[in-house]
Structure 1
């Protein structure tokens, strides 16, 4: 029972990560906003 429970939790996390990546990949504007935010953060640090 414990092994199957841990396995299901790992599968759930992996599935959630895949879904999140797919959603970001299908929304170019969202990914551009995230990338621009990261660039501004790096510019502020530099």
Structure 2
């Protein structure tokens, strides 16, 4: 991604990219097999 001349715009675009990544993670969590999810959660303990 190219840097813009507006630092505020760059900051906003970076924030949007972070939010998009979080959405991808949440989508993966809600769509994957519940058994896999339980195993992943148990692995965090």
Gaps of at least 5 residues in structure 1 are: 42-46
Runs of 4 or more consecutive aligned structure 1 residues displaced over 4 Å after TM superposition: none
Aligned residue number for residue 20 of structure 1: 25
Higher helix proportion (structure 1 or 2): 1
Higher relative contact order (CA 8 A, sep 6+): 2
With 26-35 and 13-22 compared, the bigger mean Cα shift is at 26-35
1:36 equivalent to 2:45? Answer no
Task: Compute the TM-score of the two structures, normalised by the length of structure 2.
Answer: 0.69
Deviations 1:1-46 (A, max 9, x none): 11100000000001100111111110023311112223xx3xxxxx
Matched, 1:10 2:26: no
Using the size of structure 1 for normalisation, the TM-score is 0.68
Number of residues paired by the alignment? 39
